Amino acid sequence: MATVIDIGEVTRMALDAIHETGRVTHVSIYLMAEDRPGYRLLDSRGPPPEGFLDTAAARGLLLMVASGQKAVLLENLDSRMKTLRAQLTEGKRFRDEVKRLGDTRSALVKMQAGITVPLLGNDRVIGFLNLWDERVPEAYASDEIALILKVAERLATVLENSKLYEKIRERDRLAALGEMAAGLAHEIRNPLGAIKGAAQCLDPRRLPGEDGEFLGVIVEEVNRLNGVVTAFLDYARPLKQNFGPTDLNEVVTRTMRLIQNDVPKEMNLAVELDLTVPKVDGDAEQLKQVLINLVQNAVQAIGPSAGRITVRTLKPDRFGDFRSNVAESVEVHVFDTGPGIPAEQQQHIFVPFFTTKEKGTGLGLAICQRIVKNHGGSISVQSKPGEGCIFIVRFPALPSEQPPAEVVPAPEWTPMPLPRSAKDVPRETLRESPLPQAPESRSKREKKSKSL
């Protein structure tokens, strides 16, 4: 198994080997999802368990892992809950303990696990190995548990190496694609330029009937095809990186002020910033490109009708981290009140050249995803038809320069309505705005939080 690189093949070999021992009737592997917080079923043997374990369902299990549990057994949970109930005690500590045990048991039941072992990588719970023998109600013996722990440790290492290999393979694929795209673009643009030039040399007044109108169609379609070639080049060429500590609040503020005049007056563009979010290691120009693309998509989704677009920053709860030195994450949400995205299309929207727009290239979201992944982050969508759409972009945060001296209570959100132009902003608003025009010191930001 150590020489196998493909994640699917690694999983298949591990599950087959465990299932063929005859000691279990159910065995499954869950891995951390990239598109939303939670763990997705990768593969299983026996009756299939639930396909996804979300944040709320996994919280109790993750707390037990954080407390040092290397394996969680269903029988031990039942025994502990029975003991607690027999004590007939009261109080918050008792209720919290019972709830934690209940949540953990619920997670094991959903994964059909008599024993679950966390798969650890880079100080994170990257997945779970689950086993269950429905024929034997007794717990696993100590030597069996020790063997399962060794298998899980080896499996986690191989899975991490497989993910690293896939990233390297994707990088090489894009490099080859970039070289091909450059040559292909040159061969396409040359005849396009000739077609456009010839069409523009013709005088539509000398053409009979409606033939003159076709000249405009030719020029318009040539421009559109040239735009597709440009977008393809942007997607295929290697990204020029200029990474450094970046304030997402500042990037959001500057980007929204840059594009606010492109948003129709019928739409309300709002920004809600969490002033406590840490910085990220990123390229501000690339992040600006992601935001512009997402807001433009929102404008097109809403269409000519009135609507609302909200861009929000926040610091989500840690998920899957079980050590205190693990970096936090920062999220940017772009929400619109448009018609939403049908469920059958959501899994395809980041695929290059997939589009539902009449004149779309299908590369905008693919480029966004590539930029976000290049920052070590993820981008996902949540939508229901008729209820709007929200794109969630998550980045790993840089560690704080120093721990805060005190906890300063502050409102969860700081709304900032965007004016139509800079002259519409009162001078007092610009001076008192909690959104800096340039990076500020930590002490100044804390003073502003206190004043809210």
302 or 443: which carries more pLDDT confidence? Answer: 302
Residue 217: pLDDT above 70? yes
68 or 254: which carries more pLDDT confidence? Answer: 254
Residue 334: pLDDT above 90? yes
Residue 178: pLDDT above 70? no
Q: For residues 234 and 368, is the Cβ–Cβ distance under 8 A?
A: no
pLDDT per residue as tens digits for the range 224-233? 788 777 777 7
| Cα–Cα distance list, 400 to 249, 312, 326, 329, 404 (Å) | 16, 21, 11, 12, 9
pLDDT per residue as tens digits for the range 76-96? 888 888 888 777 677 778 888
200 or 88: which carries more pLDDT confidence? Answer: 200
326 or 70: which carries more pLDDT confidence? Answer: 70
User: In whole angstroms, what separates CA 422 from the centre of its chain?
Assistant: 33
Sheet holding 72-73, edge to edge: 52-54, 38-45, 26-32, 124-132, 115-121, 72-73
- Rounded mean pLDDT, 391-411: 66
How far is the C-alpha of 35 from the C-alpha of 349, rounded, in Å? 12
Complete domains list, the chain, with CATH: 7-167 (3.30.450.40), 170-236 (1.10.287), 244-451 (3.30.565.10)
Residue 314 has a pLDDT of: 92
Residue 441: left if φ>0, alpha if ψ -120 to 50, beta else—which one?
beta
In sequence order, the β-bridge partners of residue 312 are: 272, 333
Residue 443 has a pLDDT of: 46
Banded model confidence at residue 418, pLDDT cuts 50, 70, 90: very low
How far is the C-alpha of 208 from the C-alpha of 205, rounded, in Å? 8
- Rounded mean pLDDT, 276-282: 92
In sequence order, the β-bridge partners of residue 116 are: 72, 130
Residue 33: pLDDT above 50? yes
Residue 325 has a pLDDT of: 42
- Rounded mean pLDDT, 268-291: 92
Closest to 404 in 3D by CA, of 445, 355, 349: 445
- Rounded mean pLDDT, 167-177: 65
Banded model confidence at residue 360, pLDDT cuts 50, 70, 90: low
- Rounded mean pLDDT, 102-120: 90
Residue 403: pLDDT above 60? no
Residue 256 has a pLDDT of: 92
> Beta strand pairing status for 267-273 and 414-417?
antiparallel
Q: For residues 111 and 119, is the Cβ–Cβ distance under 8 A?
A: no
Banded model confidence at residue 50, pLDDT cuts 50, 70, 90: very high
Q: For residues 119 and 156, is the Cβ–Cβ distance under 8 A?
A: yes
